[in-house]
């Protein structure tokens, strides 16, 4: 989305492909067209992500009008200096977009959407706000919705509702959802594919089923192990030893090596490449075979 | 109609404030061990009968408390007493000076608010770039340089060295003041259709308003800048950008309104302060306003004028605060009038 | 932008600012065109208190009234010796100096078209007496020798005035604004005459016979006068059509106005005169005014020593007159030998103008030692009593003189303190208490007669004088003052004042320092200007080319 603020961050290199085009090469104006329209994003803190001084309806209508989802001021119909005519058209447009905003609020199952459209963000609960955000970001039918930890700040019950809502919206609009989360349960329930990231790099990528059944990367494995199982009685919870690395001075080679029990000197020197271990399943580890082995052995133990 | 209730309540609260102000001023000005009666009677040449008569008139022979009640009584009848310094009722003096200062202050704010806000925005969005540094430098200059120095420099440069602006006063010699309706020359001359007077009034307002506004401009600029910087880092700005809005819309529609709250506060209080008397600017540009009036009233021990002036300033401050509070509610829907 | 660049930028900006502030040093050589050729513009401080001649006593009011109203007699130019006909064409006085007869000028109109007649004269004088100047007290000038029975109308153009006392300087009284003539009809139409009450209308409006009329008066801003088309003196010759008197409290503003031609005249304080002296197009010309600078000595002080004549003589020798003239008044002052300032009649009765006292510490010491007021072991006289010196706050000249005098006194072995007080407080101290020894004061003329000076200064409370509450008294001096007051005989007056002088100068109630010079820098295109100490501005005479 290239929303990173310039100081302190800067995009130096690389490519981002969307529908075959490198987004980093696009001009600012084109990016503005894409944002909200083709790629949308919802954020972690619904409390602060909505502008407190405008109504919900206004904020949703804004994106609709911007991306001309309800039509636009017809420049051919009115003369250039016809201010009154222009104003009338604008007012009309606003009315139509508010209506559409109300519809979108209804779609995200907000009760009494007409009233909510008139309200301000501080008058809604966290869950309602997140719904409104979703409504706003999906209003223009984007092709991709990026959801950055959308439920982390919410109550668990509300969490479930939002996840369901997102699944529902995805079905309806056929948008792709890129969900960023640390909640493995949510991933298992909702996602088709998953990419595991550590210290800024993708360390494993593949279909959800493959990753969960057969984690190849030590980190992935560690993550899965940390999930406590209700069925089993354990004394101590499993952890991944060590600390999250400092990204300003990251570890050399494979960034996970300080915490990895399979690490060797090679891991310290060279970053591992992404290797396809089975169909649609990639991993970046020098010693994934070793991990594979231990998993298989564990697996085989469990097999009835 | 909750707004009207609120306004009414605030206005009623004005009365105890004014009473408190008058008591304080009254006590302070009457504690000074001096006899205004002789002074007003003309000094050493004064006849004793004149002096005695003035003392009677001013109730100076009676205890302070009694004098205060005479004063309150007059006040209720809108009689602010007589200014011995100017030999006319205080209300007349105030009626002449207040609009003059009001006009000057309005124009000073018309300069400082837009320029301050725009400057603050520029500084914020181009943080640490050249334009930021230049803008901040100008702001610091305006804030730290003594206002009388600025005034004298401007006057010297633009009314003498390169004579493009008038030296002093509200109108040029030969231009008559328009018939008084509001007391604001620009307004009154337009109402009377007198374009020459209007032009002259605006021409004479340029330097004094700019000088006066300079310091306030600096204040508003810094306030806006820091407020904008804070706001621009907020989550909802990121959301706005994520919606695909142009940077311009993000700044002016989404960020600015949120950033305005401290700016509104500062502007409102500055307006009140400026109305209370920009003595130095008024003296140098020979502007017949409240500041000059207040200064000479205090030095000349003209009690009635001092009281009258203090009352007006107190009222102005309370009203300015009220308007600022109302503006908060307009700008920020989270604010509920009356608290809670 | 990195830090180094920011630093450079900051330095650059500072240099720019410093350079800009030096712009003041650049000389501009311009020949300016006459601005507003039909208008005289005077930038000054102070605002008139009233436009009513019956209640006006301050200089600012006089600046206006002298040109919009007129009296029976007038002055011309700088001449203080002669009384010229104005609304009266000729006059005579009876042998007992009690009855004056005036023939009035015919075909004179007020600015509103009304005719001027003897009725207006009687009305004006009686009005002053009845109203009794409630604001300023100026009516004393007429009431000292007139009452409401004094003025008699003989016919439309003849007036007879019988004084209650044969006041010698009567004509001079009529030359001051208090004796100026108002239009009976106008005053009657706007509140008439009410005893002890000011007339609000007359305060802000004016209908007079003078060469100019009031266009408008914006308080503390400006007074604008325009030509009175009906003026009996006519408009032949060169005159300006308009006069603008502007109030500008800040000296820098007035200086700039003078330098750029906006102002034709400007009041510039002595210490700022060097800013305009020598500038192109500006004339700075000092004239002797009747404003005098005095030190009053309290013979009633709770410090009993001042009651002794020798002590006051010694103090008169201890004062450094030249330093006062040079330092405090930047040279713009002349020595004052006695009560009467130079230019006023009978000045020569004061040792022909040669001061009796001069700065002589040795003489001062001698007098004190001879009188028995020697120094004690610590070097202090008068048992180390402190002499208290006061002056009014804000007066820079009096401050300088006070401090200088204090030094001289210290040399003499006298302890002193210098205190400043606000004007009202100082007046209170002077009149209501004995808690002072020495106060620096000033006095200005009401009318052109020495009685206006000598009586208040050395006349005692017994004859209703002692204006400074010094408690000084000498019966012979009182006798002489009264004698000179009530006669018009030149010889008699001269002898009386001479006698008085010889007495009071050796028992001085005050130290006579000097009389100030009047300077109003003006543009060189102003013609026809002259200075008269009792009528400082007469706009009709001036024109521009």
Q: Which two tokens stand for residue A70?
A: 């309800």
Q: What is the residue-level pLDDT of chain A in tens, covering all 304 positions?
A: 777 766 667 777 777 778 878 877 777 788 888 887 788 888 888 888 888 888 888 888 888 888 876 666 666 655 666 777 778 888 888 888 888 888 888 888 888 888 888 888 888 888 888 888 888 888 888 888 888 888 787 777 888 888 888 888 888 888 888 888 888 888 888 888 999 888 888 888 888 888 888 888 888 888 887 777 777 776 777 778 888 888 888 888 888 888 888 888 888 888 888 888 888 888 888 887 777 666 555 554 444 4
Q: How far is C134 from chain B (nearest CA, A)?
A: 6
B283 close to C (CB below 8 A): yes
For residue C294, list chain B residues with Cβ-Cβ distance below 8 A: none
% chain B with pLDDT above 70: 92
Query: Looking at chain A, which residue has its C-alpha nearest residue B238?
Result: A3
Tell me, what DSSP letter sits at residue C390?
Answer: E
Which subunits sit against C, judged by 3+ Cβ pairs under 8 A? B
Q: Which of A3, A66, A67 sits opposite B238 (nearest CB)?
A: A3
Q: Nearest-5° angle of CA C493, CA C498, CA C504?
A: 125
pLDDT score for C29: 53
**CB spacing of C427 vs B152 below 8 angstroms:** no
Test the B interface: residue of C12, C62, C137 with most B CBs within 10 Å: C137
* Interchain touch C–A (≥3 Cβ pairs closer than 8 Å): no
Test the A interface: residue of B235, B239, B256, B333 with most A CBs within 10 Å: B239
For residue B44, list chain C residues with Cβ-Cβ distance below 8 A: 427, 430-431, 441, 467-468
Nearest to B207 by CA among C443, C253, A25: C253
Q: Which of A5, A52, A63 sits opposite B243 (nearest CB)?
A: A63
Which subunits sit against B, judged by 3+ Cβ pairs under 8 A? A, C
Q: Which two tokens stand for residue C78?
A: 């700088």
Q: Which two tokens stand for residue C229?
A: 């088309």
pLDDT score for B37: 67
Q: How far is C75 from chain B (nearest CA, A)?
A: 24
Which has the minimum average pLDDT: B71-80, B86-95, B99-108, C285-294? B71-80
Q: Which of residues 25-84 of C touch B (CB under 8 A)?
A: 26, 28, 36, 39, 41, 47, 49-50, 57-58
Each domain of chain C, given as residue ranges in start order, spans: 39-228+522-544, 292-516
Q: How far is B333 from chain A (nearest CA, A)?
A: 6
Q: How far is B109 from chain C (nearest CA, A)?
A: 24
Split at pLDDT 50, 70, 90, the class of B340 is very low
Angstrom distance (rounded) from CA C182 to CA C233: 18
C400 close to B (CB below 8 A): no
Q: Between 3.40.50.720, 3.30.70.60, 3.40.50.10950, 1.10.3720.10, what CATH number should domain B97-339 receive? A: 1.10.3720.10
Angstrom distance (rounded) from CA C86 to CA C171: 12
Q: How many H helices and E strands in chain B?
A: 15, 2
Q: For residue C371, how far is the Cα from the chain centroid?
A: 38
Q: Which of C6, C9, C57 sits opposite B42 (nearest CB)?
A: C57
**CB spacing of A66 vs B332 below 8 angstroms:** no
B179 close to C (CB below 8 A): no
pLDDT score for C462: 84
pLDDT score for A302: 45
pLDDT score for A304: 42
Test the B interface: residue of A38, A50, A51 with most B CBs within 10 Å: A51
- List, for residues B116-159, the tens digit of each pLDDT value: 999 888 888 888 888 888 888 888 888 888 888 888 888 888 88
pLDDT score for A160: 82
Contacts across the A-B interface (CB distance below 8 Å): 72
Architecture of domain C292-516: Roll (3.10)
For residue A50, list chain B residues with Cβ-Cβ distance below 8 A: 236, 239
Architecture of domain C39-228+522-544: 3-Layer(aba) Sandwich (3.40)
The CA-atom distances, in angstroms, between A145 and each of A15, A41, A185, B222 are 19, 6, 20, 39
pLDDT score for C101: 94
Describe chain B by its helix, strand, coil percentages, rounded to 5.
75, 0, 25
Q: What is the mean pLDDT of each run of 10 residues along chain C (545 residues)?
A: 70 74 57 83 89 90 93 90 91 89 93 92 94 84 89 92 88 92 93 88 92 90 91 89 90 89 90 87 90 91 86 91 90 91 89 89 90 85 89 86 92 90 80 88 88 89 83 90 87 91 91 92 91 90 89
Each domain of chain B, given as residue ranges in start order, spans: 3-90, 97-339
**CB spacing of A52 vs B334 below 8 angstroms:** yes
pLDDT score for C115: 92
**CB spacing of B173 vs C262 below 8 angstroms:** yes
C24 close to B (CB below 8 A): yes
DSSP string, chain A: ---S-TTT----S---EETTEEGGGS-HHHHHHHBTTTEEEE-S-HHHHS-TTS-HHHHHHHHHHHTTBTB---TTTS-TT-HHHHHHHHHHHHHHHHHHHHHHHHHTT-SSHHHHHHS-GGGS-HHHHHHHHHHHHHTT--SEEEEESTTTTS-HHHHHHHHHHHHHHHHHH--EEEEE-S-HHHHHHH-SEEEEEETTEEEEEEEHHHHHHS--SHHHHHHHHHSPPTTS--SS-----S-PPPSSSPPSSSTTGGG-TT--HHHHHSPPPPEEEETTEEE--TTHHHHHHHHHHHHHHH--
Q: What phi and psi values does residue C159 have, to the nearest 5 degrees?
A: -130, 140
- List, for residues B193-249, the tens digit of each pLDDT value: 888 888 889 999 999 999 988 888 988 998 999 999 888 888 888 888 888 888 888
Residues B25-52 have a mean pLDDT of: 66
Q: Which of C50, C250, C456 sits opposite B286 (nearest CB)?
A: C250
For residue C134, list chain B residues with Cβ-Cβ distance below 8 A: 50, 53
The answer to whether A299 and A224 have CB atoms below 8 angstroms apart is: no
């Amino acid at each position: 989305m290239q929303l990173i603020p310039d100081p302190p961050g800067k995009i130096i290199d690389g490519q981002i492909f969307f529908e075959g085009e490198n987004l980093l090469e696009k001009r600012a104006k084109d990016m503005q067209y894409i944002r909200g329209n083709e790629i949308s994003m919802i954020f972690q803190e619904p409390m602060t992500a909505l502008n407190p001084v405008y109504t919900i309806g206004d904020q949703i209508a804004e994106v609709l009008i911007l991306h001309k989802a309800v039509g636009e001021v017809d420049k051919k119909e009115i003369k250039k200096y016809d201010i009154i005519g222009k104003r009338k058209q604008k007012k009309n447009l606003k009315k139509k977009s508010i209506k559409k905003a109300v519809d979108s609020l209804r779609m995200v199952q907000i009760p009494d959407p007409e009233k909510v459209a008139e309200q301000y963000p501080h008058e809604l609960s966290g869950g309602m706000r997140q719904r409104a955000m979703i409504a706003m970001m999906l209003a223009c039918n984007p092709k991709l919705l990026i959801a950055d930890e959308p439920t982390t700040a919410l109550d668990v019950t509300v969490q479930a509702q939002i996840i369901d809502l997102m699944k529902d919206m995805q079905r309806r609009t056929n948008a792709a959802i890129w969900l960023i989360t640390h909640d493995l349960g949510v991933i298992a329930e909702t996602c088709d594919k998953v990419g595991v990231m550590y210290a800024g790099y993708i360390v494993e990528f593949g279909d959800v089923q493959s990753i969960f059944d057969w984690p190849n990367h030590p980190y992935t494995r560690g993550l899965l192990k940390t999930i406590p199982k209700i069925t089993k009685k354990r004394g101590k919870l499993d952890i991944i030893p060590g600390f999250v690395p400092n990204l300003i001075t990251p570890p050399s080679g494979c960034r996970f090596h300080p915490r990895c029990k399979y690490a060797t000197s090679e891991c310290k020197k060279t970053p591992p490449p992404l290797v396809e271990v089975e169909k649609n399943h990639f991993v970046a580890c020098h010693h994934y075979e070793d991990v594979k082995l231990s998993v298989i052995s564990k697996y085989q133990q469990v097999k009835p | 109609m909750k707004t009207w209730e609120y306004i009414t309540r605030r206005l009623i609260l004005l009365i105890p404030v004014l009473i408190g102000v008058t008591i304080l001023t009254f006590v302070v000005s009457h504690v000074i061990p001096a006899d205004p009666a002789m002074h007003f009677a003309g000094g050493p040449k004064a006849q004793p009968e004149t002096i005695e008569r003035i003392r009677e008139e001013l109730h100076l022979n009676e205890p302070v408390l009694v004098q205060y009640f005479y004063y309150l009584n007059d006040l209720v009848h809108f009689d602010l007493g007589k200014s011995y310094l100017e030999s006319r009722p205080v209300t007349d003096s105030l009626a002449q000076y207040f609009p003059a200062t009001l006009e000057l202050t309005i124009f000073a704010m018309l300069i400082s608010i837009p320029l301050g806000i725009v400057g603050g925005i520029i500084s914020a969005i181009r943080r640490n770039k050249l334009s930021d540094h230049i803008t901040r430098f100008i702001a610091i200059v305006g804030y730290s340089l003594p206002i009388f120095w600025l005034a004298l420099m401007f006057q010297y440069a633009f009314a003498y060295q390169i004579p493009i602006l008038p030296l002093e006063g509200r109108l040029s010699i030969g231009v008559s003041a328009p018939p008084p309706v509001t007391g604001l020359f620009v307004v009154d001359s337009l109402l009377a259709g007198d374009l020459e007077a209007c032009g002259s009034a605006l021409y004479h307002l340029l330097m004094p308003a700019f000088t006066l506004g300079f310091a306030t401009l600096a204040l508003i600029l810094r306030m806006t800048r820091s407020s904008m910087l804070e706001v621009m880092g907020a989550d909802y700005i990121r959301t706005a950008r994520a919606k695909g809005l142009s940077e311009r819309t993000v700044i002016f529609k989404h960020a600015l309104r949120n950033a305005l709250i401290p700016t509104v506060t500062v502007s409102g209080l500055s307006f009140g302060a400026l109305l209370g008397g920009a003595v130095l600017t008024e003296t140098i540009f020979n502007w017949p306003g409240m500041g000059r009036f207040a200064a000479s009233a205090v030095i000349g021990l003209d009690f009635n004028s001092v009281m009258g002036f203090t009352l007006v300033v107190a009222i102005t401050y309370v009203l300015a605060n009220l308007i600022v509070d109302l503006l908060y509610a307009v700008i920020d829907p989270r604010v509920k009038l009356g608290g809670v | 932008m990195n830090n180094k660049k920011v630093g450079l930028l900051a330095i650059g900006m500072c240099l720019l600012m410093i350079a800009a502030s030096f712009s003041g040093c650049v000389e501009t050589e311009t020949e300016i065109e006459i601005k507003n050729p039909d208008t005289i513009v005077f930038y000054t401080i102070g605002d008139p208190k009233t436009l009513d001649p019956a209640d006006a006593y301050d200089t600012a009011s006089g600046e206006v009234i002298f040109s919009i109203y007129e009296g029976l007699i007038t002055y011309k130019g700088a001449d203080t010796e002669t009384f010229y006909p104005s609304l009266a064409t000729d006059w005579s006085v009876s042998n007992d100096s009690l009855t004056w007869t005036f023939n009035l000028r015919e075909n004179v109109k007020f600015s509103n078209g009304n005719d001027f007649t003897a009725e207006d004269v009687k009305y004006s004088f009686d009005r002053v007496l009845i109203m009794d100047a409630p604001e300023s007290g100026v009516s004393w000038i007429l009431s000292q020798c007139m009452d409401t029975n004094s003025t008699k109308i003989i016919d439309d153009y003849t007036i007879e005035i019988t004084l209650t006392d044969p006041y010698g300087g009567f004509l001079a009284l009529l030359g001051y604004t208090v004796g100026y003539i108002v239009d009976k009809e106008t005053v009657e139409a706007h509140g008439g005459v009410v005893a002890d009450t000011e007339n609000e209308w007359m305060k802000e409006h004016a209908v007079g016979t003078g060469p100019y009329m009031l266009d408008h008066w914006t308080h503390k801003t400006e007074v604008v006068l325009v030509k009175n088309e009906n003026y009996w003196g006519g408009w032949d010759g060169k005159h300006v059509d308009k006069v603008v008197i502007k109030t500008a409290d800040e000296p820098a503003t007035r200086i700039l106005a003078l330098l750029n031609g906006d102002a034709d005249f400007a009041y510039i304080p002595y210490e700022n005169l060097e800013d305009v002296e020598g500038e192109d197009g500006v004339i700075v010309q000092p004239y002797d005014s009747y404003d005098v600078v005095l030190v009053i000595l309290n013979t009633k002080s709770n410090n009993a020593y001042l009651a002794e004549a020798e002590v006051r003589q010694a103090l008169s020798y201890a004062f450094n007159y030249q330093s006062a003239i040079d330092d405090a008044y930047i040279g713009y002052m002349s020595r004052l030998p006695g009560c009467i300032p130079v230019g006023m009649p009978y000045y020569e009765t004061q040792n022909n103008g040669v001061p009796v006292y001069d700065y002589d510490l040795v003489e001062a010491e001698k007098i004190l030692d001879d009188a028995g007021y020697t120094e004690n072991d610590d070097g202090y006289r008068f048992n180390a009593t402190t002499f208290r010196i006061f002056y009014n706050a804000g007066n820079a000249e009096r401050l300088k003189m006070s401090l200088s005098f204090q030094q001289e006194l210290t040399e003499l072995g006298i302890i002193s303190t210098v205190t400043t007080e606000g004007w009202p407080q100082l007046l209170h101290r002077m009149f209501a208490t004995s808690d002072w020894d020495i106060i620096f004061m000033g006095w200005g003329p009401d009318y052109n007669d020495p009685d206006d000076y000598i009586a208040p200064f050395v006349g005692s409370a017994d004859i209703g004088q002692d204006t400074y509450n010094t408690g000084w008294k000498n019966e012979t001096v009182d006798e002489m003052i009264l004698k000179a007051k009530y006669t018009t005989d030149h010889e008699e007056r001269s002898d009386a004042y001479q006698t008085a002088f010889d007495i009071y100068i050796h028992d001085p109630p005050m130290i006579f320092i000097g009389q100030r010079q009047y300077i109003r820098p003006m543009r060189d295109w102003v013609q026809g200007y002259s200075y008269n100490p009792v009528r400082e501005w007469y706009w009709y005479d001036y024109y521009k080319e």
